[in-house]
Amino acid sequence: MPGLRAIAPTFVVSGPTGVAIRDRLKHLTVGDEQVLRLVGDYQGMLASRDLKARCADGLDHSAETWAARKRELTGFSSSRIAGSITKATHDQWALARRCLAAHIRNLEAGIRMLRHRLSLPIRQRCTKRAAGGYRSKSEWFRKSRRLAALEARLEAARADWQSGRVRVVRGGRRLLNSRHHLADAQLTEEQWRERWEAERWFLSADGESGKRFGNETIRVTPDGEVSIKLPAPLAHLANTRHGRYVFASTVTFVHRGEEWRDRVEANRAVAYRIHLDVDRGRWYVTASWQPPVVQTIPLEAARASGMIGVAAIAVEDLDFAAEKTREKHGRRKRFRQLISGIPTGKLKARLVSMAAELGLAIVAVDPAYTTQWGGRHWQKPLVTPRREMSRHDAVGIAIGRRALGHPIRRRTAPPRDDQSDRHGHRTAQARPGARGREGTRPPVTDHAPRDVPPNGKRKRRPSASTTVRDTRSDQLWVQDSLLLT
């Protein structure tokens, strides 16, 4: 059909790349909490210093500069702590880089929408596929000023991208900005300061396969005993040998506990992170590791045994990046907030993780026109006296058919004048080499004769009545049966 965008190809979603479980550190003593605060603050200072050095390198980063930063941090802590800090720094810089690319795409989408709407006459009505003109000349003037502002922002963002400059805040930019709006955030200065310091702590350690219990810096035994390797300046706080501090609290990972215990007993790598929930006043430890790489099955193999509950699950590859722009929906702020609040990314990640545990594959399809074509072609035909078919059910059928490689549209109606194929082939499902492609259309039910309706109930023909009404009067008269003989 003209005006429709091309449908993206269907693909099998890759499996999860990591597993994370969490448990609470209960019954910590005052000394335990003091040690955690001191270690987190000290290593957080080292992480901030390393992030500053990484941002200064920009695109000039290399393996030599990475090794130099790690050697510098090793003198203030240890080799393993320095490795964890530099790896976290690179991940944070890469995340900021991806956010800058997304910001550039959002600016480009907003500029395209502004240019389109500014090119239209005032008060021109919108269509289902494109926005209309602005409501008044004053709004048109304000939007033209905004177009100039967005173009200036885009030019600055592209300059940062080319130079390798990123804008990143350890602790979070949102929390940083709330410092200037404490009343709106319902926080005091002391409460904000406590949150700010807790977010900037660094209490993480990467795992090492072959080492005792899979981690030398933060160690958790199969019995749940938690200990931490103190940095060199804080080694005097250790309460056991080799500069380690053992906490009074123990952990028991309930979710996937057996899987975690198998890895720890086999000395396989497990990464840990300790953090404080300021609102609840609770300490938590998070264990994470990489599961074995699962080979993604081919798309043909996923389609072979069906989709739901057998071999694969079909989902839409939803991404509302183009719908979140402010310039497309204008004053519909609640609608934009609704779209932004839909957790599509979290849902897909959780669904992929759950399906991988059950040995199922996730097939992602293009969401284009599934709602319209599903409701048009499958909602009404599947309604029966005992079954209701909603629009969402019809969309599910459309998604499944697209994942299986079938067209969404069902059989088209017969030609207008007769039951022949004079106006071309009338089925959208048959392929050129299919048998019976040029045959006649089968009856509504393949087991019923022509005079039987689809519900299977034969209509009785009206029999000749022996009762006749006299049209000249209101009296009834009955014909004698003897006269009929």
462 in any annotated domain: no
In this structure, are 42 and 110 located in the same domain? yes
Are 69 and 87 in contact by the 8 Å Cβ rule? The answer is no
273 in any annotated domain: yes
Q: How far apart are CA 99 and CA 49, in angstroms?
A: 22
435 in any annotated domain: no
Q: Choose the final residue of a domain: 360, 383, 403.
A: 403
In this structure, are 336 and 223 located in the same domain? no
In this structure, are 105 and 206 located in the same domain? yes
Q: Please, what are the averages of pLDDT over each run of 10 residues along the chain (485 residues)?
A: 73 83 93 95 95 93 92 92 94 94 92 92 83 89 95 96 93 92 93 95 93 93 94 92 92 91 93 94 94 73 63 77 65 73 78 81 86 85 85 87 83 56 53 61 50 49 47 44 38
Crossing angle of helices 79-118 and 30-57, rounded to 10°: 60
Q: How far apart are CA 364 and CA 380, in angstroms?
A: 26
pLDDT value for 405: 84
Of 227, 220, 209, nearest in space to 260 by CA: 220
In this structure, are 279 and 319 located in the same domain? no
Rg (CA), the chain: 34
In this structure, are 235 and 313 located in the same domain? no
Q: Which amino acid is at 95?
A: L
In this structure, are 278 and 305 located in the same domain? no
In this structure, are 25 and 93 located in the same domain? yes
445 in any annotated domain: no
State phi, psi for 344 to the nearest 5 degrees: -65, -40
Are 204 and 84 in contact by the 8 Å Cβ rule? The answer is yes
Are 403 and 397 in contact by the 8 Å Cβ rule? The answer is no
Q: How far apart are CA 97 and CA 369, in angstroms?
A: 33
Q: Choose the final residue of a domain: 403, 428, 463.
A: 403
In this structure, are 231 and 272 located in the same domain? yes
Q: How far apart are CA 268 and CA 266, in angstroms?
A: 6
Of 374, 358, 365, nearest in space to 314 by CA: 365
Range 17-50 burial, b when 16+ CB lie within 10 A, else e: eebebebebeebeeebeebbebbbebbbebbbbb
Question: Which of 467-471's residues contact partners 24+ apart within 8 Å by CB, and which partners?
Answer: none
In this structure, are 281 and 166 located in the same domain? yes
- What residue numbers bound the domain in which 317 lies? 299-403
196 in any annotated domain: yes
44: tokens are 């957080």
In this structure, are 266 and 226 located in the same domain? yes
pLDDT value for 2: 54
Q: How many domains does the chain have?
A: 2
How many CA atoms within 13 Å lie on the side-chain side of 358?
A: 15
Q: What is the pTM of this model?
A: 0.71
104 in any annotated domain: yes
pLDDT value for 474: 46
pLDDT value for 478: 44
